[in-house]
Amino acid sequence: MRKTTRIAAALAAVALAAACGTTENKGGSSGSGSDGVTDTSIKVGGVLVKTSATGYSTGGAELGAKARFERANAEGGVNGRKIDFVGAEDDNMDPAKGTTVATKLVQKDKVFALVPVSSPQFGGAAFLEQQNVPWFGWATGTQWCGTKTGFGYNGCLAPKPGAGTQTWWGNQVAAQIGGADGKSAFIQGTDSSASKYGVGTIGQSFSAAGFKLAGTSAAIPATAPPQDWLPYVNKIMKANDGKAPDVVVSIMAGAKLNAGLFGALRKAGYKGAISDATSYDPSVLADPAIKAGLEGVLTAPQFEPFESDAKEVVQMKADIQKVDPSAKLTQHVAIGYWTADIFLKVAEKAGKDLTRTSFLTAASTFTYENPGFGKIDYPKDKTEPNGCGALVQLKDGQFVVAQHLKCTDNVALKQ
């Protein structure tokens, strides 16, 4: 009987020791790397649109993140840990593939967090939330907003009614064209859920800046440019009580879509201002037709443009060119860079004993300002945009700063 008791006690002790060992390893702080953290490293990887049917790509964000991580590593890392960046997966702007590659990064590659994430239709959000895995990137859709684990570098761009919605875009365009008083704006999107939502929020941005909202549309096919632009152009040209609006704003993703619409508008005699969110890209300069279609367009990046002489921008360009001297400086490169910068600041705040739990705790109440991208304030910016942006214009075939980065107060999104 005593022998049986001693054996049972010994087995219990072994089981307890094993359980304690498992508990200590959770989160990676023991050096096991089970959740992407060891005593010397933090493993991260991203999800981007590298290829898509429309030609739209956010692939440059991989270079931007790498450049920021490499500078951090050269400076000693974060609390003694270097960033082990495994690169970014391509989701092809397909929600189902987004879930697949996010799962691969977490379960096979064993990353601590996903950085950067930039895909208008990213499908991995629910999986990452369930797995308690942090993810940082360009928060262009509703899947980012109100989550525990997702963090937009620019806040939440798809707020719910009643939450704050941005006014900076409308205010910046107003400043560029001499004010909004007596002027109208038309907002054009594609036939996708994100775009349908976006025409409402961007429309309110221009209304808040003082523009009359002439109309909105989300009818253009999202997967490829239409064969005939005339029906869409005719609607716009008569939107302002039978006349053309003073400003046309596109929230479509992809130079082909935007250049096609803008070129058709100019051909129809449109003389007003045109603005979009994605055409600040040097690759458009290599295609004569696209370049012509985008001439004069005011693109609205949510960071201080590369053409600026701000010291933070100078540092960013130096970091990027150190990694790739021939790199094209696209807005996606900058988005990747500033996304990585915010992730590093949160990791620093989380401290030496780094786990996903301690990281998410640090991120849950986090405020940070940088002239390169503006400001971020969690948890407020988990449900609304950070309210910051600039304007860049393609002028005589070259990008120039039209309006430097500025932050404006959000207003409550109407029902």
Residue-by-residue DSSP string for 32-70: --TTSB-SSEEEEEEEE--S-TT----THHHHHHHHHHH
Domain ranges of the chain: 41-160+306-388, 164-302+392-412
CB 264 within 8 A of CB 289: no
HSE value, Cβ hemisphere, 13 Å, CA-based, for 146? 9
**Nearest CA among 119, 114, 107 for reference residue 149:** 114
Q: What would the two tokens of residue 312 be? A: 């933070």
Phi and psi angles of residue 272, each rounded to the nearest 5 degrees, phi first = -80, -175
Please say whether the structural domain 164-302+392-412 has been given the CATH code 2.40.160.210.
Answer: no
CB 275 within 8 A of CB 171: no
pLDDT, residue 55, reads 78
What residues of the chain score a pLDDT lower than 50? 1-31
Superfamily of domain covering 41-160+306-388: Response regulator (3.40.50.2300)
pLDDT, residue 33, reads 65
- Note the pTM of the prediction, 2 decimals: 0.85
pLDDT, residue 29, reads 42
pLDDT, residue 281, reads 85
- Asked, colleague to colleague, whether 41-160+306-388 and 164-302+392-412 share their fold, the answer is yes
pLDDT, residue 283, reads 81
Q: What pairing do the DSSP bridges indicate for beta strands 388-395 and 398-407?
A: antiparallel
In 81-193, where do the E strands start and end?
82-90, 113-118, 135-137, 150-152, 164-165, 184-190
